Amino acid sequence: MSRGDSAPAAVPGRGDSDALAADWITVVAAHAGAGASTVALAISDAAAATDRRVHLVETAHPRRSGLIAAASAEMGTDAAGAWRRGSRDRVTIDRRVEDVEPGGWPVLPISEEPAVTVLDLGLPAPENLARLAADRTRTVVVCRPTVPGVRLTEHVLSQLAEQPVVVAIVGPARWPQAVKANCGPRLRELRSQGRVVRVPVDRRLQTAGLTGDRLPKAVEAAGRSLTALLMPAVPPQPRHRHRAASSQPGAAGEAR
């Protein structure tokens, strides 16, 4: 998977407020190399496939961007010159231009106001995780099915106890016994509620990273499963071109 979450990401403020909107979807990595950028893009593509406009914002340092090549067309920078903008079907992607953190969130033209905003926050610093918990967004925690991975995930989940959370497990369908044995109570609870989704590892993505091409079918299917959990009031309906992917057995679902 693409590794755009290898270093702590700051959460810049928007205007005079550093709060995140409650209807935004935030994607955070429980540990370095979890695959948060791939998961954020899969969710964005799934939402866009329902004819909704999507704004995907990555806060990682420019040298650590997992979305650097994810747009199918580059559009220069925003009006402030702080965000580099690209498009991908109905998804607008903004990523940082400079080393210095931008002073606010990127703003789209009124004609392009998104129906869905997805923030790829990577591996958040402790103070930003606390801010994320206070703002109560819909959050996806991304991890790998390893003993350190699930332990770190439990720590993140404990910080988001009052928040709607879904966990994306990037890896094989079956977990080693040692991983199962080290799952904490919050992760076990989410598994029992069907709020843990497996995202398959794809060899092409591991080699090439995220590009402007469509994601692999199994990863697309995982994105649709996550989107259905994050936006249950309006379940995503895949376009015709996605139906073959959704019919594949075992493409996505709860990790076992």
Among 64-73, 80-89, 154-163, 236-245, the minimum mean pLDDT is found in: 236-245
Give yes or no for residue 205 having a pLDDT over 70.
yes
8 A C-beta contact, residue 156 and residue 28:
yes
Extract the runs of DSSP E, i.e. beta strands, from 125-244: 138-143, 165-170, 196-199
Give yes or no for residue 244 having a pLDDT over 60.
no
Structure confidence by residue, pLDDT tens digits, 215-226: 999 999 999 999
- pLDDT of 2 reads 44
- pLDDT of 254 reads 53
- pLDDT of 109 reads 80
| Cα gap 233→83, rounded to integer Å | 31
Mean pLDDT, the chain, rounded, equals: 84
Residues ≥6 apart with Cβ < 8 Å to 213: none
Q: Which two tokens stand for residue 222?
A: 């995982």
Better-scored residue on pLDDT, 240 or 110: 110
- pLDDT of 233 reads 57
Structure confidence by residue, pLDDT tens digits, 62-93: 999 999 999 999 999 988 899 999 999 999 99
- The residue length of the chain stands at 256
8 A C-beta contact, residue 150 and residue 169:
no
Residue indicated by tokens 């033209």: 109
Residue 247 φ/ψ, nearest 5 degrees: -85, -5
Percent of the chain with pLDDT over 70: 83
Compute the half-sphere exposure of residue 232: CA atoms within 13 Å on the CB side of its CA.
6
- pLDDT of 56 reads 97
List the domains of the chain with CATH numbers. Answer: 8-246 (3.40.50.300)
Centre a 10 Å sphere on the Cβ of residue 104 and count the other Cβ atoms it contains: 15
Say whether 239 sits in a helix, a strand or coil. Answer: coil
Helix (H), strand (E) counts: the chain? 8, 10
Better-scored residue on pLDDT, 138 or 237: 138
Q: For 46-75, what is the mean pLDDT?
A: 94
Residue 98 φ/ψ, nearest 5 degrees: -110, 165
| Cα gap 43→219, rounded to integer Å | 10
